Structure 1
Amino acid sequence: MDINHLKLIQNYLANANLRLSIAKVDKVSQNWRFFNMRPSYNALYFIREGEGWIKIDEQEYHPCPGQIVLMPAGSLHSISVVNDNTYRKFWCHFTAKVDTLNLFQLIHLPHVLDVPDESFMEQFFKELIDAYGSSAWTAPLQRNEILMKLVRHYLDIVPDRQISLSMLPDMQKLNTVFQYIEEHISDNVSVEQLAGLIHYNPNYFIRFFKSKMKMTPVQYIIKVRIEKTKGLLMTTDLTLEEIGRKVGMEVHYLCRVFKQFTNMSPGEFRNQIMSNR
C-alpha cells in the first residue's frame, strides 16, 4: 500500500467514532428478506450455519459458515433466504463515523472474509451481545470497547492488498483533499489550492465540501491543526513555537483557537495530561 494512503487510512481510524445499535444471535426465518435498502448503519454478520443470499451495491454473495460479512452504511443492501436451510448468525448494527462521513465509504474493504479463528470471533460477538443486554451503568462504555475490538479484529484479517481508499467519486475527491491537507498541514493551505486538486472552482468546492462535511474547508483545516496540536502536546516536549511551526499556526492564534476548541490553553491541556499519568 502507498505510504501516503496508509497514513491517511490510519488517520481515519484514529478519528473514527463507533456506536453500537444492536447485537444478537439468531436463526433467520423464511421471512428474512429485503431489497434495495440503503441504511445509515453498518452491519456485520458472522455466519455459523445455513445458506443465504446477500447483495451489496452490484455485488452478489452467498456467504458460507465461517465467513464474516461487512455491509457498509450508505451502500445498497439486499438479503434473502434461498432454501429451508436458513442462516444462523451472530450480527450487529453500528455506526462508524469520521466527522460526518461513514468510515467504510472512505475506506474500501472486502465485503466477505474467511475467519481464521472462528471460536475467537464467536467469543467477541458473545461478549458484545452480553454487553448490549446489560443494564449496568457502565454498559455503554463496555459495548463500545468490545465493538472497537471486534471491528479491529475484522480489519486485522483483511489482507493488505485488499485495503484501499474508496472508489466512490465523491469520496475519491475528498480523500485527495484530506491527503493533501495531512501532507501540507505546516504550510499555508488555501481553498484555491484544494479546489484545484479536484478541478473545481473555489466557490463550488466550498459548497461541495460543506455538503459532505457540514463545515467549510477552512474550519476543517483548523480542526485538523488543533487535533494535531493536542497529539503533540500529549506525546512530545516540543515548545508551543515548535508545535506552531509543525501545524502551520502562529503561537498567539494557535492559543486563541485551541482555547475555543478545548476551553483551556495549550499549557493547561498539557499539564492536565501530565497530572493524569
Structure 2
Amino acid sequence: MKSRFDDFIEKLPKSVHDNTRSYIGTNVAVFIPHTYKIEKGIIHDDYHFVIFHTTPPCATINNKEYQFKSGTLLCMSPGTEITVGVAKNKSQAKYAAISVKKDFFEDIFLKIVGNKKMKSVIYDNHYSYKTLDLLEFFMQEFIYLDIPSPLMIECIETQIVIQLLRDMGLDPIINKINHVQEKSYVKQAIIYIESYYNSNITINEICNAIYISPCHFQRIFKNEMNKTPYQYILEFRLKKAKEKLKEENTSIEEIAMQCGFLNSGHFSTVFKKSEGKTPSEYRNSLKLAVKEK
C-alpha cells in the first residue's frame, strides 16, 4: 500500500535509503540513516526535523550555509531546500530525521500556538530527552508488533509534534511555566551568592546547591539579571567592601578576606577598576566627606 511519505522517500538516493531504518506512520515518519545525502539538494514538501547526535557536515539551506552542532534540533517548514556538504569525518552518521505531514502539523500548531506562523527555518534549538523517548516509543510499535495499533501510533504522533513545538520554544503554556521556574532558580542563586559571597564560591557550587546545569543556569541568569553570575558576585562583593570601608578599625587586608577576594592586591585592582580609586583612596574620600559636613 502506498505510504503518505513515498514522495519524500523517492527523493532519497537508493544508497541512502537502503541504509536507513524507516518507521512510517499515518502522519509522522522517523528515519534513522547511516549516511548523509551528499551534495544534492532536496526540497521538503512537509515539515522536516533533524536531530543531530554528532556534528554533521556543513549544509546549505535556502542558499545560506550552516554548520550545525551535536545536540541541535533543526526544524524546516515545507518548501525548504537543503543540500548537505561532504563530511570531513568519514565515520558513521548519527542523526534522526522526522517528517510530519503538513496538514497534521499545522492542525496541532494552530491548537497550541494560535494564529502565528512558524519561521521557515529554526535551527538554534536543542532537542530534549522527552523527544527521544517519544521517538523510541514510536519505533517500538513497529519493531515489536506485527500489526501496530493505529490508535497508539496516532497518539504518539500527536505527542511527538507537541514535544517538538516545546523544544522549539513555541508552546506558550510551557514557556510561562519555564519562566516561573527560571525566576525561582535565579532567586535561589542570589540567596546563595549573598550568603556565601565571602568564600571562593564557583558556578558549579551554586548549580549543585539549586540542582541545575551550569550551562542552563548561566543562560537564564544572564537573561533575568542582564549580567553574568560572575558579574553579580563581583558587584555584591564590592558593595559589601564599600560598606566595610566605612569602618576605620578594619584593615584593607581584612576587608579583602571578608569579602571573598584572593588578597589585598587583587581587591585593590578590582576595586580601582570599578570605582576609579583604590580602597584606601575611597576610604579617605569618605573621611573627607564627613569632615566637610
TM-score (norm 1): 0.38
- Which entry has the higher C-alpha Rg, 1 or 2? 2
Bigger relative contact order, structure 1 or 2 (CA pairs below 8 A, ≥6 apart): 1
